[in-house]
Chains A and B, each alone.
Chain A
Amino acid sequence: MNTKYTLPQNLPVIDRLITQSMISDYSKVSNDFNPIHLDSTFAMKAGFDTTIAHGMMALSYISEMMTSAFDTKWATTGKLKVKFRSPVLSGESIETYGELLRTSHDDNLNKAFYKVGINNKNGGLVITGEATICY
């Protein structure tokens, strides 16, 4: 067991203002041109105040938080399981959170389990879930 590695209790917060320009760029990267992300009139007909960001785009910030905390351990041992609770609207600010839940030692692997997620500026849940790394 690696006893030298100190796990952070709380993970660094990543915050972003999600703009329509970012959402439009992400549409090109993901090849997802659903008008709910690009056309505010369509999005309003679907029941939103304006366009919404792709769920995977928001999820990127949890991965950025995990990379920031664990460097390449995240890219080599990370696991993530999340639910998308509510959409991120264009023009909305979001921030990530991550808090150590527990650790385990199974099959010669030290594992750390973190409660992770994203809230919007009003404290509303955007993404909730759990991330695991081996250390």
Chain B
Amino acid sequence: MTVSAPISSDSTADSHAATDLDAIPEPFDYNPSSWSQRIPICVIAMVGFLIATYMGLFQWKLIDSAWDPVFGGQTEAVLTSDVSHWMHKWFLIPDATFGAIAYLGDAIFGLAGSTRRWQYRPWLVVIFGIDVIPLGIVSAVLVAMQGLVVGSWCFLCLVTAVISLVLVVMAYDEVWACLKYLKRVWDETHDRKLLWDVFWGRRTAEGEAIGARFATPATT
């Protein structure tokens, strides 16, 4: 989008930053909401989705065996263990299918939003963060525990656990910038209503001004 002349001359830099979708938020020297940051997250999440779907198909008994080049039959032991049956009862769907939906969510929430969504749609970045970070860590811990509790190891489960942790590392920067911006709004105003509006991405004069100071214009 081209930027037309700002109304007040002293806010030239501010208004430019406010409309510059590639602006760089604190504390980084790159834009964590840029496509080059987000697309790889979506691609890796989709790999997790495909692997989890494959295991879900086995748990749904739509395929007869589960591939495992390292632990042999142990994968099928894990995927049909008591633990997985309990989780099936809680989730109503196989745990691998539940995981597949969570990875798909990582990709969906990673794709949605502009390259300045850390300011324009904080709610979306927060949902994305919840899906990737706490859910990812819990699922990785659960996979490790499944190996210890069930006594069998599942190669593809371990692959998805690694994917979860890689996604956490790749996604934290955007969530961090977004939360830092929200905290800045709160610290500068202590205005609950404003924080609420900013969280939902509504355009307010105060939020816009704070966002403009929070970001530096893109260098390229």
Partners in one complex: no
Binding site for B on A (CB under 8 A): none
Binding site for A on B (CB under 8 A): none
